[in-house]
Amino acid sequence: MKAVIDTNVVMDVLTNREPFVGSSESVLSLAAKNKLQAAITANTITDIAYLLRKHRHDLKIVKSSLASLMELLDVIEVSKDCCVKALNVPLDDYEDALLAECAGKWGAELIITRDLDDFINSPVKAASPDDFLKKHDPSSTDGSTDDDASSDLEE
């Protein structure tokens, strides 16, 4: 399965955000085990860098976390064509519309996000980390992982 990971799911892991970190970490763990082909968009990386810098205040840690993230996940280009087409995606938030458009172009079957209400009219179906795990990896629904994919990300 191909899935695009929304910023909030990655930030759950990078900032150890409770109560969401367990399920979000399990999603990234599936990507680390090659059980999920997961990606983020190029503009998501800049958003994460900005948010993580505000949270961590240490550029070296931010860059290390970003490097680890880019080793773990594919990065989808954000082209002019996607930006233009996103204007016609029936979502209220342009950033979400752009994510949905890029996800569709990449061939994603799913967007994994905690902001499900923002993706109600998305051309690519959205699921929460918990719902995704219940359907695709029932052993992870307790939030625990046997392979901590986030260890490199949280330095």
What would the pLDDT profile of 56-85 be if each residue is shown by its tens digit? 778 999 999 999 999 999 999 999 999 999
Neighbour-count burial of 57, counting CB atoms closer than 10 A to its CB (0-12 exposed, 13-18 middle, 19+ buried):
exposed
Q: What's the CA gap between 23 and 145, in Å, rounded?
A: 9
Q: Is the pTM of this model over 0.75?
A: yes
Q: What's the CA gap between 27 and 110, in Å, rounded?
A: 12
pLDDT in tens, 8-58: 999 999 999 999 999 999 999 999 999 999 999 999 999 999 999 998 778
Q: Does a structural domain hold residue 132?
A: yes
Q: Does a structural domain hold residue 47?
A: yes
Q: Does a structural domain hold residue 37?
A: yes
Q: What's the CA gap between 103 and 89, in Å, rounded?
A: 12
Domain count within the chain: 1
Q: Which CATH number fits the domain that encloses residue 115? A: 3.40.50.1010
Domain that holds residue 42: 2-140
Q: Does a structural domain hold residue 22?
A: yes
Q: Does a structural domain hold residue 53?
A: yes
Q: Does a structural domain hold residue 109?
A: yes
Q: Does a structural domain hold residue 21?
A: yes
Say if CB 109 and CB 1 are below 8 A apart: yes
Q: Does a structural domain hold residue 129?
A: yes
